[in-house]
Structure 1
Amino acid sequence: MGEMPSFQLGVISSLFLSVASSVSIVICNKALMSNLGFPFATTLTSWHLMVTFCTLHAAQRLNFFESKSIDLKTVMLFGILNGVSIGFLNLSLGFNSIGFYQMTKLAIIPFTVILETLFLNKQFSQNIKFALFLLLVGVGIASVTDLQLNYVGTIVALLAIITTCIGQILTNTIQKRLNVSSTQLLYQSAPFQAAILFVSGPLVDKFLTKQNVFAFKYSPIVLAFIILSCIISVSVNFSTFLVIGKTSPVTYQVLGHLKTCLVLAFGYTLLHDPFTYRNIIGILVAIFGMGLYSYFCTQETKKKQSVEPQMKEKDTNTLLLVQDIDGHELKKSTKISLV
């Protein structure tokens, strides 16, 4: 019982860190790409992961955490899958309209629910499903505008959804089954994620932007924002693994949509982006859905916690009964042998 408050504090801290770091990096990257004209998102992500690995390596050498070896094949496939999913998400944004890209991100939650139900036998109550539905409707109203479809863009979007869902489910599954922390898993997989994006990033970016990342003129202000973005990314990557490990892939996606609403709000207040009553209504509906989701999750967690002691007590009583029966039979058999 004493472990529960510390566990809840750890979850709240990881959620707060994830929100704060993600909103910060979005604002930083928006300034870098929109205001300073640096459009190379995939290559920038590879730099993020390399800086994250270097930071974790230094922390490990200083004994801030203990490195734990994971099967090379598992961590390699996991790292490549996560790197590929990032590439597909960026390609989806390049091939599709912003509205369809937002719909792609919204589709990750129901697809994750389907995968966890089919392959992990996880059950989601009707209350949870209703809360998720409200959340998706709210985010859709707030962020989705045009829905321009095309064949290639749709295929790329589907691949982005599938790889992202599988990657996030594996993040949770590997941490729990192999008993590794989020830091240990990120430390092991970051080099493979960085490598796949470092090789493919310049090609993807050149295809999407028609510009060469190596021919770009890096001014001091651009370099300063790139360094700031890489520093914030360490917190983003760490908190992502931390949240998925402590909660679930679905909760992480819910948190992601909260970030979307916050980014829209920050964009309006700080960057003076266009804002309508539709955005306000959508954000309010989404926040209400998030509140319901949190409430229902808390209620179900309490219900499970109250059932577990009863099950343990029942098992203990059953064990004592079996021991009592065995003892009675032993006495009986001893009496017969004496006769």
Structure 2
Amino acid sequence: MGEAAGFRLGVIGALFLSVASSVSIVVCNKALMSSLGFPFATTLTSWHLVVTFCTLHVAQRLNFFETKSVDMKTVMLFGILNGISIGLLNLSLGFNSVGFYQMTKLAIIPFTVALETIFLHKQFSQKIKMSLFLLLIGVGIASITDLQLNALGTILSGLAIVTTCVGQILTNTIQKKLNVSSTQLLYQSAPFQAAILFVSGPLVDRCLTKQNVFAYRYSPIVLGFIVMSCLIAVAVNFSTFLVIGKTSPVTYQVLGHLKTCLVLAFGYTLLHDPFTSRNILGILVAILGMGLYSYFCVQENKKKQLVDLSSQVKEKEDAFPLLAVKSMNTGLQDKDSQDVKKSDKDSAV
């Protein structure tokens, strides 16, 4: 019971850290890009990963966690895939409307469910599917504004969906298969993610913004916001690996859509962004969908734990049949002795 309670607290802490850090970095980056005119998102992401790796390296040197030898080929390919995924998502946003980009993010959940069902043979109940569908409808109502299709943008969105889903599934699979923690996997893969984005970032940003990141004039306030963004990104990257490792890729995507709703609400209340009754309705529907998803997941986990417990008891009985027989015989002998004592007592009377 103590281990189960500790695990639940760990999951709740990871979810809270993920939500808090993600909303914070969105606000920081919005100020950096919209107010201060720094539009180089992909290059900024590469700096995030460099700072994340350096922070983890210092933590490892201070013995906050231990490194673990893993298959470097697997980790390298995993890191490169995640780096490509980030670049494709940024390109998708650059070549598509905001509405179509939101549709791309929404498509990640059903595609992840399909991949896990086909390749990992994971089963999702009808209740889970219904709650996910309700969540997608709510986020769609709240966030989708316009849909403009174009061939290049559609191709980039399709590639972004595939690479993102595969990367998140691999995050969960590698942690369990190689028995590594989220910190260890992030520490091992961050250099490869940073390298692929560090090389491709300036090219992607130049393609999207028609500006050169190296020719930009960095004022002290811009540098301050970049440093702040990089520090928050450490928490974002760590919590991402932590959440996927402790839960599942689908749960992480559900959490991501909750963040979308929170960012919309935060933008309306504090930044006074345009907001309509449709946004409010969408957020409420999305929160209802996430609440149902969480409730059904908890119920199914309880059922699974009961099934696992009963199977363990059965396995013990099958493994030690002689003990079961002996216990049964002992019980019969005790019953016989009680009957004999009762008979003797009746005779004496």
TM-score by length of structure 1 reads: 0.95
Aligned structure 1 segments of 4 or more residues deviating by more than 6 angstroms:
322-325
| Structure 2 partner of 1:333 | none
Cα distance in 1 for partners of 2:68, 2:201 equals 29
| Structure 1 partner of 2:215 | 215
Pairing 1:1-339 to 2, within 5 Å after superposition: 1-321=1-321
Cα distance in 2 for partners of 1:305, 1:278 equals 40
Cα distance in 2 for partners of 1:324, 1:135 equals 50
Q: 1:219-239 CA deviation, whole Å, 9 max, x = no partner?
A: 111000000000000000000
Q: 1:135-156 CA deviation, whole Å, 9 max, x = no partner?
A: 0000000000111000110000
| Structure 1 partner of 2:337 | none
Cα distance in 1 for partners of 2:324, 2:27 equals 67
How far residue 323 of structure 1 moved from its aligned partner, in angstroms, is 7.5
- Per the alignment, in what secondary structure is the counterpart of residue 101 of structure 2? helix
- Per the alignment, in what secondary structure is the counterpart of residue 175 of structure 1? helix
| Structure 1 partner of 2:328 | none
| Structure 1 partner of 2:332 | none
Cα distance in 2 for partners of 1:322, 1:146 equals 71
| CA contact 2:138–2:285 (8 Å) conserved in 1 | yes
How far residue 315 of structure 1 moved from its aligned partner, in angstroms, is 1.3
The percentage of aligned residue pairs carrying the same residue is: 80
Cα distance in 2 for partners of 1:186, 1:214 equals 28
Q: Structure 2 counterpart of 1:169, which letter?
A: I
Cα distance in 1 for partners of 2:62, 2:324 equals 55
Q: 1:259-309 CA deviation, whole Å, 9 max, x = no partner?
A: 000000000011110000000000000000000000000000111111111
How far residue 322 of structure 1 moved from its aligned partner, in angstroms, is 6.9
Q: Structure 2 counterpart of 1:118, which letter?
A: I
Q: 1:57-96 CA deviation, whole Å, 9 max, x = no partner?
A: 0000010100112111101000000000000000000110
Q: 1:113-135 CA deviation, whole Å, 9 max, x = no partner?
A: 00000000000000000000000
How far residue 319 of structure 1 moved from its aligned partner, in angstroms, is 2.1
Q: 1:246-271 CA deviation, whole Å, 9 max, x = no partner?
A: 00000000000000000000000111
Cα distance in 2 for partners of 1:36, 1:197 equals 23
Cα distance in 1 for partners of 2:285, 2:45 equals 32
| Structure 2 partner of 1:331 | none
Cα distance in 1 for partners of 2:324, 2:154 equals 66
Cα distance in 1 for partners of 2:233, 2:322 equals 57
| CA contact 2:317–2:324 (8 Å) conserved in 1 | no
Aligned length: 325
How far residue 24 of structure 1 moved from its aligned partner, in angstroms, is 0.1
Q: 1:300-331 CA deviation, whole Å, 9 max, x = no partner?
A: 01111111111111112222237889xxxxxx
Gaps of 5+ in 2: 326-349
RMSD: 1.0
